[in-house]
Structure 1
């Protein structure tokens, strides 16, 4: 029996699936994602406030349904769902049915109003919000060999790699359409087909409303020549090793995920539209109302982090309306 047949060598999709979500996998650890990396949700409560404003816009477009659904995909420990409920106007919060979708177990201290699920509920009327979910949907890695042929990259649990069989079938068609590699030896790509399918399935749970995917992303004009596969452990970027000890992630080809009617924009532009800006308070406030000035200055600093060029502000927002106009129009 060969090493590959015995399971010592696996494609990255299978290896990462087990390392992240299998028994003892990274996302089943008690500290949750916040113990290893900082997302927009953890950076500032302003992010949840912006999502609450977006939910209110969806509520208006839906003519104020009762209940109004909010689905937090890849919910971590429920931080975003908790923050959104706290930021909603009382009348909207009273009608909101909140769901947190996560593979890990429900936190003991989670708000009782939030239903904890392992998969998104069907027949959603409202907002489905997926912050940094798609980057953790495992994908295969392709690399061009010395003959100019894209091959599947195989990996061991210790992170050692070698090339496997040529990429073929629907995966080869995806590469040709969304991430053509050419014939340069060593060029790499993440084959995003599983993410396209996962996003389409999530959108399909909406009867009416809006689905939003937020992630570090690239489009056809900016594909990186050697891919983006990496790992994170305890707040630091590290080599991606599929042994359950670290997060394994790769940027998302959000343009490939988009369904008809979608809009793709930066987090910076989305948050500006939702009234999150880094404008500093007027200086005269420092002498007339100093405590208010300090609070406003702190808020501006948090907004600056969420909208920063070269940082969180460059994240992509894929907005997919279903049966309603896009609540963040051009």
Structure 2
């Protein structure tokens, strides 16, 4: 079968990797949400900017798409000031069963809400939206890559279809192994359409047209280790996102920045505390030093800091960049 069909079954089928009611993705790979509450703190500062731009509405929606086990929303709820917490409507969109320990204030659902006023956020969701892969045969013709779900072994199938070719000609024209990203574009555009006023934010591994990765990016994760991507339901199967293509498909004003730049603009800098603080308040110095270490991980250019933030602004006057 093609990679798109195989990924869909392996990740979201009846016993798929993201559907099973176990400890969830956090047991297999580390995202910014899991790395430090500083990430949620930065998202909260973005929420407050959006809230101000909206005029502090009676209800402020925070919708987390691909919410895992609700970790981001739980942390946001704990950090929110009372006024915002009283107005916030937190919604986790996830196919896995609702965790028993989740706060009652967080609504759990399998589909996007019809309308959002506030922030829709998707952290490392688009990289798990299934897509097809294509490669050149010996005659230089671009053909779909087929995969055996049990072994991960690949063969070449038929030629790419017209929709695939249209997307590739615009967004990934280089010859060789390619990952056909239009299903991600469609998924993201569908999510952004639900935002009536506010912002939609995707945070993910990704690339832009001038630097598409030769040979593609598909890989797997299991138990904290990078592994061969076998679509048998036993591991995460992921491929980086063509963020510029997803941005254009959504049809709303947007900005694309690295996570490093975004988090710095939202107050996460990774700077070490002064030695003077160590003399005056040793315990405080240790806390600040630990926070600096966590911040450094989030903004490291070769790691989480190299993720892309794709932010759309819909129906509000942002008066410049929301990440400025």
**The TM-score by the shorter chain falls in which range?**
over 0.9
**8 Å Cα contact 1:151-1:164 kept in structure 2:** yes
The residue aligned with 1:23 is: 14
For 1:145-294, list aligned pairs within 5 A.
145-157=137-149, 158-182=151-175, 187-258=176-247, 259-294=251-286
Deviations 1:95-128 (A, max 9, x none): 0000001000000010000000101111100000
**Cα distance between partner residues in 1 of 2:129 and 2:286:** 41
**8 Å Cα contact 2:46-2:323 kept in structure 1:** no
Q: 1:48 to 1:329 in 2, by over 3 A?
A: closer
**Cα distance between partner residues in 1 of 2:263 and 2:142:** 39
**Cα distance between partner residues in 2 of 1:199 and 1:255:** 12
**8 Å Cα contact 2:252-2:313 kept in structure 1:** no
**Cα distance between partner residues in 1 of 2:71 and 2:191:** 20
**Cα distance between partner residues in 2 of 1:176 and 1:233:** 34
Deviations 1:18-52 (A, max 9, x none): 00110111112311000100000000010111111
> How far apart are residue 328 of structure 1 and its match?
2.2
State TM-score, norm by structure 2.
0.96
| Residue 57 in structure 1 maps to residue 46 in structure 2 | no
**Cα distance between partner residues in 1 of 2:165 and 2:206:** 21
Residue among 315, 318, 328 paired with 2:322? 328
State TM-score, norm by structure 1.
0.94
Over aligned residue pairs, what C-alpha RMSD do you find? Answer: 1.0
**8 Å Cα contact 1:273-1:328 kept in structure 2:** no
SS at match of 2:99: coil
SS at match of 2:170: helix
**Cα distance between partner residues in 2 of 1:118 and 1:327:** 32
Number of residue pairs matched? Answer: 317
Runs of at least 4 residues off by over 3 Å: none
> How far apart are residue 145 of structure 1 and its match?
1.4
> How far apart are residue 181 of structure 1 and its match?
2.6
SS at match of 1:232: strand
**8 Å Cα contact 1:57-1:327 kept in structure 2:** no
Stretches of structure 1 that go unaligned for 5 or more consecutive residues are: 1-9
**Cα distance between partner residues in 1 of 2:157 and 2:62:** 42
**8 Å Cα contact 1:58-1:327 kept in structure 2:** no
| Residue 136 in structure 1 maps to residue 128 in structure 2 | yes
Deviations 1:234-259 (A, max 9, x none): 00000010110100000000000003
**8 Å Cα contact 2:112-2:191 kept in structure 1:** yes
**Cα distance between partner residues in 2 of 1:137 and 1:28:** 14
**Cα distance between partner residues in 2 of 1:76 and 1:156:** 27
The residue aligned with 2:310 is: 318
| Residue 12 in structure 1 maps to residue 6 in structure 2 | no
Stretches of structure 2 that go unaligned for 5 or more consecutive residues are: none
| Residue 298 in structure 1 maps to residue 290 in structure 2 | yes
**8 Å Cα contact 2:231-2:237 kept in structure 1:** yes
